Amino acid sequence: MTKVYFVRHAKPDFSIKDDLMRPLTEDAINDCKKVTEFLSDKNITKAFSSPYKRAIDTIRDFTESLNLEINVIDDFRERKIGNTWIEDFDKFAKEQWTNFDYKLPEGESLNEVQKRNIKALMHILKENADENIVIGSHGTALSTIINYFNKEFGYTEFERIKNLMPFIVCFTFDGQDIMNIEEFIME
């Protein structure tokens, strides 16, 4: 069995518009200690992350506690919305969950996000069988992964977890076959 702990980043500083370099808030930095505490007894041997600063920083305290290198995987990045800031994010998100191929100019559809995230995950599963793994992730990217294995996870479920930061989902695999999905809310 392979266990993959996807960690949705802690709360970012939304005043920073640069999506790639958006840091965590001061409170969120403290929340990273909760992630470390939760993961500390999970026998994790490998760490991967989206290239986004907030995803890396959310698991950094944990990986440093075990001297694990964070392997950055570009395909685990968050969905690209487009080249403009979205004021009504809820309306945009609902449209994307209603139509998995909907996207703005120069943006990505949820279908595209899901395909690249699943491709990266399957590669990791193939290369790291029977390991326990942590992956720094994002709300939308992680939601599309859950949706891939559980089609009942849609817009309503996305809305439910939208403000959960950090948020951990453990996927248990036998080879590349999903056996279980379990959510953990950090409080």
| CB-CB contact of 145 with 161 (8 Å) | no
Structure tokens at 44: 């994790």
Q: Is 8 exposed, middle or buried (0-12, 13-18, 19+ CB in 10 A)?
A: buried
Distance CA 61, CA 44 (A): 14
In the CATH hierarchy, which fold is given to the domain comprising 2-185?
A: Rossmann fold (3.40.50)
Quick one: tokens of 29?
A: 């930095």
pLDDT value, residue 85: 77
Alpha-carbon distances of 91 from 85, 88, 111, rounded to whole Å: 13, 6, 18
pLDDT band at 116 (very low <50, low <70, confident <90, very high): very high
Taking only the tens place, the pLDDT of each residue in 54-66 is 999 999 999 999 9
Check if the beta carbon of residue 54 is closer than 8 Å to that of residue 22. Answer: yes
Share of the chain above pLDDT 70, in %: 100
Please report which helix (H) or strand (E) contains residue 171, including its range: strand 167-174
Strand ranges of the sheet holding 167-174, from the earlier edge strand across to the other edge: 70-72, 46-49, 132-137, 2-8, 167-174, 177-185
**pLDDT digits 0-9 by tens, 125-162:** 999 999 999 999 999 999 999 999 999 999 999 999 99
| pLDDT value, residue 86 | 82
**Extended beta strands in 66-153, E state:** 70-72, 132-137
